[in-house]
Amino acid sequence: MKLKIEQSDTEFYTPTAGLYCIGYAINQQTTLKTTLCAVSKRHGIPNIELIRTVSALLATDKSDFDAIENIRNDDWFKRYMGTRQMMMLHH
């Protein structure tokens, strides 16, 4: 299956609609999960979870990792990104 991206004259997508595309690309079109399993965890969270989360934050125009607090309990985010675990921030 190939992902085709094109502009629509009839449909409107919210900024977070792109998460489906990002999640699909990371989870179905790359070998990141397998590749990152070879890298040791230093923080207790699988590296693929960090890549998924940071990619999604950047895709929604959030460059500060503190923005994770706004999506931590968002089921839509977790489902489309395939994220099961997120890093806890300590201030």
- Residue bearing tokens 């609609």: 17
Mean pLDDT is lowest, of 3-7, 52-56, 60-64, for 3-7
pLDDT tens per residue across span 80-89? 777 766 555 4
Residue 7 domain-assigned (yes or no): no
Tell me phi and psi for residue 41, to 5 degrees.
-80, 135
- CA angle at 34 for the pair 88 and 37, rounded to the nearest 5°: 50
Q: How far apart are CA 77 and CA 7, in angstroms?
A: 23
Let me know if residue 63 belongs to a domain: yes
For residue 20, give its domain range.
Answer: 15-81
Residue 51 belongs to a domain? yes
Total domain count for the chain? 1
In a domain? residue 87: no
Asked whether residue 57 is assigned to any structural domain, the reply reads: yes
Is 53 domain-assigned? yes
6 against 32, higher pLDDT: 32
Residue 89 within a domain: no
pLDDT digits (tens, 9 = 90+) for 16-54: 667 778 888 888 888 888 888 888 877 777 888 888 888
**Does 4 fall in a domain?**
no
Average pLDDT, the chain: 76
